[in-house]
Homo-oligomer: A and B are copies of this chain.
């Protein structure tokens, strides 16, 4: 899983019924200090996340399919939660 910030949305001419009624979100992965980490990714929305929210993203196909309760679907990443708090321990 990774933490990211929702930065946009993508509309596509889908031929996959599994994607109907779900948003495809552009998510910018974040480093521990909240700065950008690598390139943005695309994930199917399972929690109705909004732009600029910090979210929890699962990054594996079978995991992502079950997140939106649509097994056997072409889904490889899904937004599965909205972040409340991150607690880091100094000198862990």
A interface residues (Cβ-Cβ under 8 A, vs B): 1-3, 5-16, 19, 24, 26, 28, 31-32, 37, 39-44, 46-47, 51-52, 56, 58-67, 71-78, 80-89, 92
A-B contacts, 21 listed (Cβ < 8 Å): A1-B41, A1-B76, A1-B77, A2-B42, A5-B92, A7-B88, A10-B83, A10-B86, A10-B87, A13-B82, A14-B80, A14-B81, A16-B67, A16-B81, A28-B92, A32-B39, A32-B40, A42-B56, A61-B62, A66-B74, A74-B78
- Whether A84 contacts B13 in the complex (CB less than 8 A), given A66-B74, A74-B64, comes out as yes
Of B1, B3, B43, B51, the residue contacting A89 (CB under 8 A) is B51
Distance of A15 Cα from B67 Cα, bound (Å): 9
B8 and A41: CB pair below 8 A? no
